[in-house]
Structure 1
Amino acid sequence: MRKIKRFIQLGLSIILMGALLLFANESGYADEASVTVKKGDTLYSISQKYNLTVRELKEYNSLTNNTIYIGQKLVLPVLYKPEQMYSVVGGSFSKKDNAKKQIGKLKKEGIDATLTTKVINDKTYYRIQAGVFSKKANAEKQKKLLQKNGIKDAYIATYNTLHINGVHLGSTYGQVLQQFRKPMKTEDHLNIRSLYYVGDGAGIRVNFNMKDGSIFGLQAYPEYLKLRNLPIHKNQVINEYGYPNKVQKVSCYESATCGQYIYQFNKNELIIQFDRDGKTVQYFDLKKMH
């Protein structure tokens, strides 16, 4: 029985590696985000060509000195920007039932409206959301439809696709490496890859779709990343993501209580958990909504 179990795990690992090869070259980075060293190239000449510093090139490629060789692939630190989406929103109710009544009326008119919430200064507000669009023109049409049906304060809210450091669901493994840099080591278990950067803990855990290699889950632990542009304090989180849709308390280590900010957008969910001090980020968890 143990042999069969090991065989199944080995087979799944092979499938995972095969999926990764569909979108990553032998260095583990996307082709369009790397450069191959040619005769006469130096770190300085490459850095000048791509508007980088030598230090950035060395850090992103884990180089301890300035020596490079012909044929070597160097990753370029290209920052990915999350896609902008347009959401049609209306109303701001302090009572949930009032928002639900308005949604019921809209549905009778054939408008697919749903309830959404925002927590601002510990108070929950209930709002009507009537679609998420990639094109602003389509959102404008939906806004006018809502206004015609009595939601006079309907407006278009611009949101970024939920992400962690620019990586969103559907991104590739190459984009993960671009945003978080090459790890010291990796570990694979079924369709989960753990990336280690600092200390003994995994800084990143990535869940892969075995069919196309895209990401359907991403967890990040700032304590094991030491990444400067990742928000690690509550005020930085609000500056990056805005006010959350939900706030809740959960049990964490040593019987303590930790707070969570929960962001929900376009059927994706980002949970950000704070430490016992209520300010410092413990982890980010990006996944599909259940």
Structure 2
Amino acid sequence: MKKTKRFMQLGLGILLMVSLLFFANGFGYADDHSLTVKKGDTLYSISKKYNLTVQELKEFNGLKNNTIYIGQKLLLPGVTESEPMYAVVGGSFTKKDNATKQIANLKKKGIEATFVTKVINEKTYYRIQAGVFSKKGNAEKQKELLRKNGIKDAYIVTSKNLHVNGVHVGSTYSQLLQQFGKPVKTEDQLNIRSLYYNGEGAGVRVNFNMENGSVFGLQVYPEYLQLSSLPKDKSQIIDVYGYPNQVKTVSCYESASCGQFIYQFNKNNLIIQFDRDGKTVQYYDLSKFH
């Protein structure tokens, strides 16, 4: 039976690559996608080190030739997304108000924090989060700061940025093709490219910056793909991504109800929608928070 796929239009924009962002107390998000050129570096040596092409580096940085200089800062499309990041969390409350009170107390002491939710066996838990860091040393300092200010069970969660089949927000279009393969045809509409792999429906729809190839939105439909590496049912999803931050029930095709797992990490958002049977993955939708 032919299914009507729900496609979420993602807003226009270009993913801004910035270094690690801190507030006054060290709270922030790991978003470090750059390096500083040192003596002996060339575009070729950098491209090999980070599994990129010279052309990708040039296009992403607006370089007209291969000349770079010591001290120059180069943006690296998506490469650090696969590196571990460190979230500092503490507490586990069944009531949102309790988490909110703890956060208010921390803010009075000059410590920025927020709460994140986790749904485990259909029950929602609220946890305090005080930043996501690309350097473990910074996360350790933040953990100790929380412990000194009353969050005795503060700990570090090591994770990687959200992805679909190895493609993250910030990956390049060429990296996407490496992961999903070359399509039999493509169709462009505004800033969206649809990739067809079997001649029926689009298996991938990608929002990317046409100038530098940086991906800032991705929708994937497993029904139209033959990828053993792509989880296709709920049990596999939990094995790969863990328990979701939110669970929702939404209206889908033919007035049916479909479930969603929603994952949020480091300012990225991943929605995984299941079919009417509650098990089969209908689509993935990966984007940056707006």
Shift of 1:211: 4.6
Aligned partners of 1:31, 1:155: CA distance in 2, in Å? 38
Q: Quick check: 2:234–2:279 contact (8 Å CA) kept in 1? A: yes
In structure 1, the partner of 2:176 is: 176
In structure 1, the partner of 2:288 is: 288
Q: Which deviations, in whole Å up to 9, do the C-alpha atoms of 1:65-103 show, x marking residues without a partner?
A: xxxxxxxxxxxxxxx982321000000000000000000
> How many residues of Structure 1 are paired with residues of Structure 2 in the alignment?
217
Runs of 4+ in 1 over 6 A off after TM superposition: none
Alignment-mate amino acid for residue 200 of structure 2: D
Ranges in structure 1 where 5+ consecutive residues have no aligned partner: 1-29, 34-79
Q: Which deviations, in whole Å up to 9, do the C-alpha atoms of 1:178-236 show, x marking residues without a partner?
A: 00000111111121111001241100011012453201000100000121110011010
Ranges in structure 2 where 5+ consecutive residues have no aligned partner: 1-51, 56-79
Aligned partners of 1:121, 1:86: CA distance in 2, in Å? 25
In structure 2, the partner of 1:212 is: 212
Alignment-mate amino acid for residue 224 of structure 1: Y
In structure 1, the partner of 2:248 is: 248
In structure 2, the partner of 1:46 is: none
Percentage identity across aligned positions?
Answer: 73
Q: Quick check: 2:81–2:161 contact (8 Å CA) kept in 1? A: no
Structure with the larger helix share: 1
TM-score by length of 2: 0.72
TM-score by length of 1: 0.72
Secondary structure in structure 2 of the residue aligned to 1:97: helix
Aligned partners of 1:156, 1:148: CA distance in 2, in Å? 15
CA-atom RMSD, angstroms? 1.9
Shift of 1:139: 0.4
In structure 1, the partner of 2:230 is: 230
Q: Quick check: 2:249–2:260 contact (8 Å CA) kept in 1? A: yes
Secondary structure in structure 2 of the residue aligned to 1:164: coil
In structure 1, the partner of 2:195 is: 195
Secondary structure in structure 1 of the residue aligned to 2:82: coil
The structure number with the bigger radius of gyration is 1
Aligned partners of 2:237, 2:199: CA distance in 1, in Å? 24
In structure 1, the partner of 2:104 is: 104
Aligned partners of 2:167, 2:230: CA distance in 1, in Å? 12
Aligned partners of 2:222, 2:152: CA distance in 1, in Å? 43
Alignment-mate amino acid for residue 223 of structure 2: E
Shift of 1:289: 1.7
Aligned partners of 2:104, 2:212: CA distance in 1, in Å? 39
